Amino acid sequence: MANSLLDVVQGQVNGGRRLPDEVESIIEAAIRDTYRSRERPTVRALLERRKLRVQKTVFRDREGAKAERQGFAPVALKYLADHAFPTVAPTTPKSMGP
């Protein structure tokens, strides 16, 4: 009965935080980096990225770090053509026309 005479409201203070500061900073960084960017990754892209990371880890554990770097490094090749048309359009057989 005496509690009803008090103006103090029990419970969480508005704007208060329940998580430790370290966890709050990790969550804020994730929100800033992922969800505030113009292009958010799709769920499928996130799963593919995770799958690749797991594959790289397994490959590194089995074959070694050097083999993992070589196996997952981008391939740099030169593509040479005299002109663009033959690379885009298929050649026509001689019986079909000029």
- Give 66 or 94, the one with higher predicted confidence: 66
**The pLDDT of residue 92:** 58
In the chain, where the domains are located: 19-85
- Residue 72 contacts residue 56 (beta carbons within 8 Å): yes
**The pLDDT of residue 20:** 85
Q: Computed from CA positions of residues 20, 23, 27, 32, in that sequence, does the dihedral angle turn out positive or negative?
A: positive
- Each residue's pLDDT tens digit, 16-69: 777 888 888 888 888 888 777 777 778 898 889 889 888 888 888 888 888 888
